[in-house]
Amino acid sequence: MVAHAAFIPTWPKSHDQWGMLVAILGTTISPYLFFWQPSQEVEEDKAKGRRMLYRRFGATPVEIITRKIDVDVGTFFSNLVLFFIILTTALTLHQHGITQVETSTDAAQALSPLAGKFAGTLFTLGIVGVGLLAIPTLTGSAAYALAETFAWREGLDQRFRGARPFYLVIIVSTLIGIAMDFLHVNPVRALYWTAVINGLLAPFLLLGIIFVALDRKLMKQQPSSIPSVIIVSVATLLMFGAAIGMFIF
């Protein structure tokens, strides 16, 4: 039954189901990754001594293969974790009629069969660990995105005095996150709607990536392979389809 439900897709039957599909796609292919990943590649190049722009043009075949493996392995494990989160929640909460998860306490119940009375502690440790990973990534990607939009000096290798707007975005973003907790914003609903917004924005950014990837001049005569472009194009169409379905049904 689990295998059938996991690998045989069913058509969403309501607006809420379409919205959840958009949210899942949005949290899997998040727009912030489009800014964070390339920015970190540039940071690594700078760390290798390639501080001048002309030194960072192009990439060797070895670098391309290494980055491809890095992205493929990271994507595989992140989606594997997502799959088991959905599976565990379906077999615990949903199986017992709990379909409205409004608080972290509700979500922690999914771990009860595994951790028993320590479910809350285990969930808390997981939240803290994920937060320590997510905070620098999310605030940093926002800073990189705004810095590139307004041509600010950017980079975590820069001193605060030399990249003041860049670091101020990181500081303000962190303070907003802290303020949301004191304002009693529902974290589960905030995460859900953030994922939905990501799912609506991501396909437009994917279109831009496809156009850039096919441009031989921009890619320094190393455009993306046709199979890669086809995969990204299919993903883009599916995300557009899910977004349209959310507004129609």
Residue 114: count other Cβ atoms within 10 Å of its Cβ.
11
Q: For 22, how many CA atoms within 13 A lie in the half-sphere containing its CB?
A: 26
Whole-prediction pTM? 0.80
- pLDDT bin (cut points 50, 70, 90) of residue 123 is confident
Answer yes or no: is pLDDT of 142 > 80. yes
- pLDDT bin (cut points 50, 70, 90) of residue 210 is very high
- pLDDT bin (cut points 50, 70, 90) of residue 58 is low
- Cα–Cα distance for residue pair 139/173, rounded to 1 Å: 6
pLDDT of residue 154: 86
pLDDT of residue 164: 94
Q: Which residue has the higher pLDDT, 220 or 208?
A: 208
- Percent of the chain topping pLDDT 70: 94
- pLDDT bin (cut points 50, 70, 90) of residue 145 is confident
Q: pLDDT digit string (tens) for 159-190?
A: 898 899 999 999 999 999 889 888 888 888 88
Tell me the C-alpha to C-alpha distance, in Å, between residue 7 and each of 1, 22, 60, 128. 10, 18, 38, 32
Handedness of CA 110, 111, 113, 114 (dihedral sign): positive
Rounded to the nearest 10 degrees, the angle between the axes of helix 187-214 and helix 15-28 is 60
